[in-house]
Amino acid sequence: MTQASSGQSPTRQGARWSARDWPIAAAMIPFPGTLPDGRAVQGAGPEVWAKSLREVAAAGFDAVDPTDSWLRIADLAPAARAEFLAICAGLNLSIPAISTSRRSVIDPEHGASHLAYCHRVIDTAAELGIGHVSIGLFGPLTDAQQRATWFWTQPGVRNPDDPAIYDLALTRIRDLADHAGGCDIQLSLEMYEDTYLGTARDAVRFMTDLDHPAARLNIDIGNLIRLHRPVEPWAEMIALCAPFAGYWHVKNYTRMEDSASGQVMTHPAPLLGGTINWRAAIWTALELGFDSPFLVEHYGGDGLWVCARNRDYIREVLAAKEKVDDQGI
């Protein structure tokens, strides 16, 4: 199957994209992986997949990341995957990247099977001409997180403070990066609390220890800003991590801190209106050579349409940077 027939966008080479055609994909997190009748989206078939993807296209998107909390395209049979790709092509939706969620390769019970799955994702991306794959070291939601209104307000699974497990993470991710690099795919590692990528300094240390040309950092600092506890300032995170930036999940939160009591509260917000100044963050990364697609995410409310507004905002940010650079301001 060719890239043209599958609706994919090839890995970009050479000069940067312009603000108008920079790939900005919709995340599928607004769409649950289980239907109201209890069926898994994975086996529900093309009619169900098409309904959600039509909503994405109706929101003005021309790119989608089939986030695997919604659908694991790497685990579809060839005929089913072809049907999925045909739907995307018919809606003019390219697939610049595939993101995995909660498939940690050092999970104490499922780490080996998650590693095999991530290799399948890379094989699928290579087959379809998809240039980016995002993985993380974060585990499944706990029972308390699943009951909470916002899962990040409850403690989750932690990566152990164990040098042997840290080395295992490096070994397994290096194995995936070798595979990805051999397929001309960029592997992005997602920042997430209480993992070996759980602070800016930890992420920089891990990337430095990994030291692999095919691996970059998914500087999803929204995952950290939303925590109800002290965190590094967002600008400090960007300054430290932007030199490593690859495929980038972006979202924002309003963070309120009471300095007297130490209480912290957060709530999802659009990119334009939250605590993180995304114009400054994106411009910093661009000045350091950032040249990967974006993924827009949002939890709560009408998440898809907030993502659409976030997409438009990013294009405005990119266009303003082009104008400033062209005019030499």
Per-residue pLDDT band at 16 (split at 50, 70, 90): confident
pTM of the predicted structure, to 2 decimals: 0.93
Confidence check: pLDDT of 14 > 90: no
Question: Could you tell me which residue, 4 or 163, shows the higher pLDDT?
Answer: 163
Question: Could you tell me which residue, 8 or 219, shows the higher pLDDT?
Answer: 219
The type of residue at 323 is K
Rounded Cα distance between 248 and 267, Å, is: 21
pLDDT given at position 6: 39
Q: What is the dihedral of CA 106, 152, 61, 306, to 10 degrees?
A: -170
* Mean pLDDT score, 169-188: 98
* Mean pLDDT score, 256-285: 96
CA triplet 101, 271, 287: central angle to 5 degrees?
Answer: 90
How do residues 116-164 score in pLDDT, each as one tens digit? 999 999 999 999 999 999 999 999 999 999 999 999 999 999 999 999 9
Per-residue pLDDT band at 72 (split at 50, 70, 90): very high
Spatial CA neighbour of 23 closest among 134, 84, 97: 97
CA triplet 90, 93, 96: central angle to 5 degrees?
Answer: 140
Confidence check: pLDDT of 1 > 60: no
Rounded Cα distance between 97 and 293, Å, is: 8
pLDDT given at position 124: 98
- At 176 the three-state DSSP class reads helix
Per-residue pLDDT band at 327 (split at 50, 70, 90): confident
* Residue indicated by tokens 């993985």: 135
Nearest-10 crossing angle of helices 111-128, 163-182: 20
Q: What is the dihedral of CA 234, 167, 132, 185, to 10 degrees?
A: 140
Confidence check: pLDDT of 328 > 90: no
Rounded Cα distance between 190 and 229, Å, is: 20
Any bridge partners for residue 250, and if so which? 296
Q: Report the mean per-residue pLDDT for the chain.
A: 94
DSSP secondary structure string for all residues of 229-259:
S----HHHHHHHHGGGB-SEEE-EEEEEE-T
* Mean pLDDT score, 70-77: 98
Spatial CA neighbour of 159 closest among 150, 145, 169: 169
Confidence check: pLDDT of 9 > 50: no
How do residues 287-297 score in pLDDT, each as one tens digit? 999 999 999 99
Percent of the chain residues topping a pLDDT of 90:
93
Per-residue pLDDT band at 7 (split at 50, 70, 90): very low
* Mean pLDDT score, 206-215: 98
Q: How distant, in Å, are the alpha carbons of 29, 31, 211 from that of 41? A: 13, 9, 37
Spatial CA neighbour of 18 closest among 287, 308, 315: 315
How many other CB atoms are there within 10 angstroms of residue 177's CB atom?
Answer: 23
Per-residue pLDDT band at 3 (split at 50, 70, 90): very low
Backbone angles phi, psi at 255, to 5 degrees: -115, 120
Q: If phi over 0 gives left and psi between -120 and 50 gives alpha, with beta otherwise, what is residue 185?
A: beta
Longest dimension (CA), the chain: 61
3-327, superfamily in CATH?
A: Divalent-metal-dependent TIM barrel enzymes (3.20.20.150)
CA triplet 301, 49, 102: central angle to 5 degrees?
Answer: 65
pLDDT given at position 329: 57
